[in-house]
Structure 1
Amino acid sequence: MASTHQNPTRTLYILAPFLILLSSYCASQPLHSQPLFSPTPSPPAANSQLSPSDTNNHARTPLKPILFGILLGTLSGFLLALFFLYLIRLAFLYTHLTPLLKGPVVFTPQINPKSLLLALVSNPQSPQLTPIPSASSACKFLKLQLETDLSVAIKVVPLRPNSTSEKRKIQQKLESLSRLKHRNVLTLRAYLLDKDKLFIAYDFLSEGSLEDLMKRVRAGQMVLNWEVRSKIALGIAKGMRYLHFECSPRLMHWNLKPTNVILDEGFEPRLGDCGLVRISMDSEGDLQFGDQRHFSYFLAPECNQGCRYTDKSDVYSFGVMLAILLTGRDPSDQFLTGESSQDGLVCWLRQKQQAGEAKEALDTSIVGDEGEEEEMLMAMRIALVCLSDLPADRPSSDELVSMLSQLHSF
Structure 2
Amino acid sequence: MVSRRYSSSYYTKELFTLLLLFLFSFQHTTTVQCQGRFSKQNYSRSSGDREDLRKIIISVVLGAVTGLVGSVLFALIVRCFVQYLNRIPILKGPVIFSPKVSPKTLQSALAKENHLLGSSLNGKCYKTVLDNGLTIAVKRLTPFESGSPEIRKRRVKREIQKELEVLASLRHRNLMSLRAYVREPDSFSLVYDYVAEGSLADAMNRAKESELPLGWEIRLRIAIGVVKGLQYLHSTCAPQILHYNLKPTNVMLDAEFEPRLSDYGLIKLLPNLSRATSPYTPPEYFHNCSRYSDKSDIFSFGMILGVLLTGKDPGDTFFGEAGNGGSMGCWLRQLQQAGDAKEALDKSIIVREGDEDDMLMAVRVAAACLSDVPADRPSSDELVHMLTQLHSF
Same fold (TM over 0.5): yes
Q: CA deviation at 1:328?
A: 1.1
Question: RMSD over aligned Cα, in angstroms?
Answer: 3.2
Q: How do 1:68-147 residues align onto structure 2 when only pairs under 5 Å count?
A: 70=60, 73-94=63-84, 96-121=86-111, 124-125=112-113, 129-132=114-117, 134=118, 136=120, 139-147=123-131
**What are the Cα deviations for residues 256-277 of structure 1, in whole angstroms up to 9, with x where unaligned?**
1111111111111111111113
Q: Look up the match of 1:47.
A: 35
Q: Does 1:177 align with 2:167?
A: yes
CA shift for structure 1 position 118: 1.9
- Which runs of 5 or more structure 2 residues have no equivalent in the other structure? 1-31
342 and 94 in structure 1: CA distance in 2 versus 1, 3 angstrom threshold: farther
**Are 2:345 and 1:362 aligned?**
yes
Task: Output one character per residue of 1:288-318: Cα deviation in whole Å (capped at 9) or x when no partner.
Answer: xxxx4xx511100010012421111111100
The answer to whether the 8 A contact 2:141-2:270 is kept is no
Mapping for residues 1-400 of structure 1, pairs under 5 Å = 46-48=34-36, 66=56, 70=60, 73-94=63-84, 96-121=86-111, 124-125=112-113, 129-132=114-117, 134=118, 136=120, 139-159=123-143, 160-161=145-146, 163-281=153-271, 286-287=274-275, 292=276, 295-307=277-289, 308-338=291-321, 343-366=326-349, 368-400=351-383
Deviation, 1:168, is 2.2
Question: For residue 327 of structure 1, what is the amino acid of its counterpart?
Answer: T
Alignment coverage as a number of residue pairs: 351
Alpha-carbon distance in structure 2 between the residues aligned to 1:118 and 1:45: 110
TM norm structure 2: 0.79
Deviation at 1:402, TM superposition (A): 1.7
Deviation at 1:278, TM superposition (A): 3.0
What whole-Å deviation, never above 9, does each CA across 1:106-160 have from its counterpart, x for those lacking one?
1112211122112213xx22xxx4443x485774332222233322111233454
| Residues in 1 aligned to 2:385 and 2:319: alpha-carbon distance in whole angstroms | 33
Q: Partners in 2 of 1:313 and 1:208 — Cα distance?
A: 25
Tell me how far apart the structure 2 counterparts of residues 75 and 268 of structure 1 sit (CA, whole Å).
66
Look up the match of 2:10.
Answer: none
SS in 2 for 1:142: strand
Contact 1:375–1:408, Cα closer than 8 Å, also in 2: yes
- Separation (CA, whole Å) in 1 of partners of 2:170 and 2:234: 12
Does the CA contact (< 8 Å) of 1:332 and 1:342 recur in 2?
Answer: no
Closer/same/farther in 2, CA of residues 409 and 67 from structure 1, 3 Å limit: farther
C-alpha distance in 1 between matches for 2:158 and 2:307: 38
Distance verdict in 2 for CA 1:93–1:45, change over 3 Å: farther
> How far apart, in 2, do the equivalents of 1:388 and 1:252 lie?
19
Aligned 8 A contact 2:177 2:193 in 1: yes
Task: Measure, in 1, the Cα distance between the counterparts of 2:296 and 2:325.
Answer: 14
Task: Report the Cα offset of residue 387 of structure 1.
Answer: 0.7
* Distance across 2 between alignment mates of 1:106 and 1:342: 49
Cα shift readout 1:357-384 (whole Å, capped 9, x = no counterpart):
1101011122644521111111111111
Q: Secondary structure at the match of 1:243?
A: helix
For residue 296 of structure 1, give the secondary structure of its aligned residue in structure 2: coil
**Conserved 8 A contact 2:226-2:260:** yes
**If each structure's helix is expressed as a fraction of its own residues, which one has the higher value?**
2
* 2-structure distance, mates of 1:299, 1:338: 20
Alignment deviations for residues 347-366 of structure 1 (CA, whole Å, 9 cap, x no partner): 22222122111101011122
In 2, the alpha carbon distance for the partners of 1:258 and 1:120 equals: 27
Relative to structure 1, is the Cα distance of residues 272 and 355 closer, same or farther in structure 2, using a 3 angstrom cutoff?
same
**Within 2, Cα distance between the matches of 1:235 and 1:64?**
76
- Amino-acid identity (%): 45
Equivalents in 1 of 2:325, 2:160: separation in Å? Answer: 31
C-alpha separation between the residues in 2 aligned to 1:342 and 1:270? 31
Following the alignment from structure 1 to structure 2, what is the Cα–Cα distance between the partners of residues 274 and 368? 32
Asked if structure 2 preserves the Cα contact closer than 8 Å seen for 1:338 and 1:344, the reply is no
Q: Counterpart of 1:360 in 2: which secondary structure?
A: helix
CA distance in 2, matches of 1:67, 1:311: 58
User: Quick check: 1:135–1:212 contact (8 Å CA) kept in 2?
Assistant: no
Larger radius of gyration: 2
Q: CA deviation at 1:336?
A: 4.5
TM-score by length of 1: 0.76
